[in-house]
Amino acid sequence: MSAASALAAAQKPSMQHASPADPDFSKPLAWLRSPAAVMAAGAILGLIFYVVIYGVARLDPANIGWLMQGDAATHYLGWAFFRHEPWSFPLGALHRYGLEIAASIVYSDSIPILALLFKPFSSWLPEPFQYTGLWILLCCLLQGALAALLLRRFSDNLPFVLLGTGFFLLSPIMVIRSGGQFAGHFSLLGQWLILAALLLYFSDRLRAAGWFWGLLIALAALTHAYLAVMVAAIGVASLSRGLLQDTAFGIVALLRALIPMLLLPLVAMWLAGYFVIGGYSGGGAGFYSMNLLAPFLPTVTLQSAFLPSHPVATAGQYEGFNYLGLGVLLLLALALATTLRQWREVARSYRFWLPLVGVCVLLTLYALSPRITLGTQTLLELPYPASVVEVFRATGRMFWPVHYALILFALIGAQRIANQRLLIAIVAAALLLQWQDLRLIVYHRSTMKDAAAVYQSPFQGAFWSRAAAPYDRVLLVPPTFSVHDFVPFADYAARHQLGINIAYYGRPPSAAAQAQRDQAVRDFLAGIVDPDALYIITQPALLPTIQARLAPGDRLEHHDGYWVLLPGAAALELAPESPRLPRAQP
């Protein structure tokens, strides 16, 4: 049963219509309902959304000022180091960003697919260069285009499709990722991958095509690990639908689909550096969870214009923000009413919907985490295997496929209204209500950050350029793990193609990694100095100990508020006052 026929089975006879996949091009303007035209219209809506929220200044690849704070800075700096790394296997490995800890662009959240794409052209790219602005634009365009194409699977009513696309663009989980507490998580704007997975699920020809699913999951893995899990979950639902609905789709066909579905993502993950062994700790399961009130009310920090914010059980439940918006909630109420009224017709197509519903239930349970909360109250706390749950500790995000499935269900349910003019009026009113409900968040996101801000490094003097020339790496004593403190040091090292002993990844360093760095500090204070390293002392209290152990030829100097140890300072005196030349590739 196709998506269109399943929908028709759940509708009144007067509501049945020709499949939207086959528009009658003999009619005037019928081309407007073609897939290409619908996607183009959705992409235009996405462009409007981008301009309203972000403006155009972020598209300037040399503009990094808006990125150099919070998590956004860590993700940009991961790319800034990676672009100058010599090629190695895995391709996404980072050797000079953190030095002692093995890592990759996966763990710096540097959008691996774009980092790998731009790295071969690094020598032709300007310095600095950022692709985040381009990525955000692509996400908005694809969100609109794929939402429109998804809705076209269920309706040939173009106004309905375009209005419905507005709900996917105005999804609160999409809007909040544009800044604020979520600034820097721009890779997670790739929620169009979830829409692509839903589109494959509802495609009769491709729903069980293992190669398509493998490519989509691999693309999601090269964007963000959380998105890969979400897409894979929908892929499992799609294969299950094949088993339920298609008698010709047996175990052999299932295995034939599963092989590329597993193999392609694993190869992509290996190349990107997922399996690089690093010293990072887990923890956080139940802290970054979803509250039971999250779909119906916003959190304290993200306000609705009409509804109160719900109290949270943990400070980390901002990651469980999954508010649907008042417009969607009202359409959901309408959809439930029409579905219950026609429940016999809807029940006949259970094989079509059951796998997706089952996966949505499982994802919801994972999002709630083993610690299930309602407001500030903990209702239930279950034991859990840490090795499984804490891999994706921000469990609240796992509700996103359910979020989009609920938007789709709300629109499909509204479409059961026989009067098309009334349908358009209701959906348009709900979209306007959604916009008004989210206007505070949209306004805050669109005005909170100056896109034309200029980042000013504290290491501007001629000394710092000369100091970089004779050394291979920068070592902070002691290293800092604060996202706010490490940015200027890492930026200085990246600009001069130096390694650095600090990095800020998606997880804090493990106890073993911290112990390794502590030992390096003790060695330094004992007088064991790396002659190829420029030392920056971040704690002045250590200066007496350092001065007492200075070796001949070493200098301890003060520049622009920082104490610097220059091993073999004669090399510095011979260094030219010019930017550092690129290092020879091994």
Buried b (16+ CB within 10 A) or exposed e, 97-133: bbbbbbbbbbbbbbbbbbbbebbeebeeeeebbbbbb
Q: What whole-number distance in Å separates Cα of residue 195 and Cα of residue 192?
A: 5
Q: Are 487 and 503 in contact (CB under 8 A)?
A: no
Helix (H) or strand (E) holding 151: helix 132-152
Inter-residue contact 62 to 126 (CB < 8 Å): yes
Q: What are the structure tokens assigned to 8, written together?
A: 């028709």
**Bond from prior residue into 383 cis (ω within 30 degrees of 0):** no
Strands 473-477 and 377-381: unpaired
**Strand residue runs (E) in 423-497:** 473-477
For the chain, percent helix, then strand, then coil, each to nearest 5? 55, 5, 40
CB-based contacts of 120, cutoff 8 Å, min separation 6:
none
C-alpha 280/C-alpha 508 separation (Å) is: 6
Q: What is the DSSP letter of 551?
A: P
**Each residue's pLDDT expressed in tens, for the chain with a length of 586 residues:** 444 444 444 443 333 333 454 555 445 455 567 889 999 999 999 999 998 888 888 899 999 988 888 788 889 999 999 999 999 999 999 999 987 777 899 999 999 999 999 999 999 999 999 999 999 999 999 999 999 999 999 998 999 999 999 999 999 998 887 665 555 689 999 999 999 999 999 987 765 688 999 999 999 999 999 999 999 999 999 988 888 887 677 788 888 889 999 999 999 999 999 998 665 556 667 889 999 999 999 886 667 888 888 899 998 898 899 999 999 999 999 999 988 888 777 778 778 889 999 999 999 999 999 899 999 999 998 887 666 667 788 899 999 999 999 999 999 999 888 788 999 999 999 999 999 998 887 766 665 555 667 788 889 888 999 999 899 999 998 887 665 578 899 999 999 999 998 887 766 666 666 777 778 778 888 888 899 999 999 888 888 888 888 888 888 889 988 899 999 875 566 455 444 444 444 4
Say how far apart CA 469 and CA 571 lie, in whole Å: 9
Neighbour-count burial for 168-206, b at 16+ CB within 10 Å, e otherwise: bbbbbbbbbbbbbebbbbbbbbbbbbbbbbbbbbbbbee
The token pair at 478 is 């002691």
The answer to pTM > 0.85 is: yes
Pairing assessment for the beta strands 93-94 and 103-104 based on DSSP bridges: antiparallel
- Of 453, 481, 567, the closest CA to residue 68 belongs to 453
| CB-based contacts of 429, cutoff 8 Å, min separation 6 | none
Q: Positive or negative CA dihedral for 319, 320, 321, 324?
A: positive
- Which structure tokens are listed for 259? 């092989």
- Note the Cα 4 to chain centre separation in Å: 32
CB 472 within 8 A of CB 96: no
Q: 255: burial class by Cβ within 10 Å (0-12, 13-18, 19+)?
A: exposed
On whether the CB atoms of residues 53 and 178 are closer than 8 A, the answer is yes
Report d(CA 190, CA 197) in Å as an integer: 12
- By DSSP bridging, strand 555-559 and strand 562-566 are antiparallel
